[in-house]
Amino acid sequence: MQPTAGAAFNMADYFLYDRLAEGRGDRVAMRTDADAWTYARAAAESNRFGNALRELGVAAGDRVLLSLPDVPEFAAGIFGTLRMGGVVAMVNPLLPAEDLAYYVEYTGCRAMLCDESVAQKLAPMLPRFMTLKDLVVLGGAARAAGAAGDRVHAYGALVSGQPPRCEPAPTRAADSAYWLFTSGSTGRPKAVVHRHADFPWNCERYAKLVVGYRQDDVTLSVPRLFFGYGTGTNLFFPLAVGATTVLFPEKPTPEALFEKIERHRPTILTSVPTSINAMVSDAEASKRDLSSLRAVLSAGEALPPELYHRWKKTFGVEILDGIGSAETFHIYISNAPGDVVPGSLGKLVPGYEARIAGADGREVEEGGIGTLWIRGGSVGIEYHGAPEKTRETFVDGWVKSADLFRRDAGGRFWYCGRVDDLLKVGGIFVSPTEVEDCLLSHPAVAECAVVAYHEGGLEKPLALVVPRPGHRADAALALELARHAKSRLAAYKFPRRVRFVESLPKNDRGKVERKRLRDEVAANGLSGSFDTDVSARGGRP
């Protein structure tokens, strides 16, 4: 499905309002522990919010920033904004005040829908914001207002009096509709500007053709709705087929996830490797009932084969590992049901094209490692306010990523890290993910990350390891891990140093912050690490 650029089209119709025309208004669209919203209720609430925005003076094309936990009103904020012709942007509500302020100023949003915690952080700053005129607060607006006066509105009072029908704006398929933020792993997050047609294009291909979303599905997600990965798999995709999504605002701990799965019986779970590892490592994992699941979706970071096998052995459910990006909205390479190869990211989602290129821009030979270029109908327009980065990344319809891949003879893609992550050991490039996958196969390792340190002007691998309970973090274990790696990998790849840590730093998307680790190593050196070079004395701190 790809409407022509000039055709009348609004993605809110595709994902929500068309369900009413199909006669599905009485079906449950969103469920929480305490409530259920039908498609008809979701459409009416979205319309009320859209009317409220117009009453506040928000015009077509204005940005509306959403910063909420995973509650049904988040969906009303999205679809109401789109319905009245606004442009949606989203941000993590748990960010500190100055980070939230960055998003407000960067997006130039005219209005913001947020919860009370966000309002309390931002209300004192309202005088400094040039474009943000109205803060709509879900719960406790009066307490959040402070000196902001009539610029802060209680969601319930503002929306409840609006009519349940909203005249749709005359949007076109090529009009701007959504800003998706990059993870900010190499600096401040940038927004990719997407059109109304982009998200439905991906939904038709990834959600329907690869995963096979259907009306009887119930979905649950670890990634929150502010993250495009979660927005797609746990809101847009189920609603596009008339299915049901389960939303919950609390932190997705293993205990919470087990409880939600056993209570709501979802068929599709969206997750990330960190959460998959936490669930399967839980002391009660083997006793929990995950039999309702037919698939688990994973993205965001590499899924180690060892972790896939542990999960499959424990719960008997396939994990469909894939990769997507803010630049393409969602997943463009993925494993498929019944066709999973652990360690591989699978094959191209139908409709996408890919090339793997070397530094000279030419495609590498089959099996060679190079930078992934991707093209398809969901590619965004630009990075807002970053013309140089836009020219560098968006090239003649292609997205030039910073991800390194190889493609095998069967058309499967294998992730080899990011350009900035590669190590060059003894003049040979080493993918940190390969070393990490190997270390994770050792029973003493819960999590790990491999980065470079420098000695005598040369790069060498340093492993930062979170040990499993019951294993002593000492020189002997460090040497054991090095020998484990050296016996399974090319000799030059094993970590020359091991540092044991309590946890690895992660961003709000659940990705390990490798740049932060590299900066920390550069600043603080190798203190606390163990020498594991088996050609030396090995094991000395």
- Give residue-wise pLDDT tens across range 298-343: 998 888 898 999 999 999 999 999 999 999 999 999 999 999 999 9
- pLDDT-derived band at 143 (thresholds 50, 70, 90) equals low
Return the CATH fold of 197-419: Rossmann fold (3.40.50)
For 402-412, give one letter per residue: b (16+ CB within 10 A) or e.
Answer: ebbbbbeeeeb
Where exactly does CATH 3.40.50.980 map onto the chain?
A: 11-191
Where exactly does CATH 3.30.300.30 map onto the chain?
A: 422-531
Number of Cβ within 10 Å of residue 535's Cβ equals: 7
> Which tops the pLDDT comparison, 418 or 45?
45
What is the C-alpha separation between 163 and 195, in angstroms, rounded? 28
What is the C-alpha separation between 473 and 498, in angstroms, rounded? 10
pLDDT (tens digit, 9 = 90+) per residue, 435-454? Answer: 998 999 999 999 999 998 88
- The mean pLDDT value for 420-430 works out to 74
Q: What is the 3-state secondary structure (H, E, C) of 314-381?
A: HHCCCEEEEEECHHHCCEEEECECCECCCCCCEEECCCCEEEEECCCCCECCCCCCEEEEEECCCCCC
Contacts of 251 (CB under 8 A, 6+ apart): none
Contacts of 432 (CB under 8 A, 6+ apart): 417, 421, 422, 423, 449, 450, 451, 461, 514
Return the CATH fold of 11-191: Rossmann fold (3.40.50)
pLDDT (tens digit, 9 = 90+) per residue, 190-222? Answer: 999 999 999 999 999 999 999 999 999 999 999
Where exactly does CATH 3.40.50.12780 map onto the chain?
A: 197-419
- The mean pLDDT value for 344-373 works out to 93
Q: What architecture (CATH level 2) is domain 422-531? A: 2-Layer Sandwich (3.30)
- Residue 185: its pLDDT value, please? 52
Strands 191-195 and 176-181: antiparallel
pLDDT-above-70 percentage for the chain = 94
Q: Cα 447 to the chain's mean position, in Å? A: 19
What DSSP element (H or E) covers 53?
helix 39-56
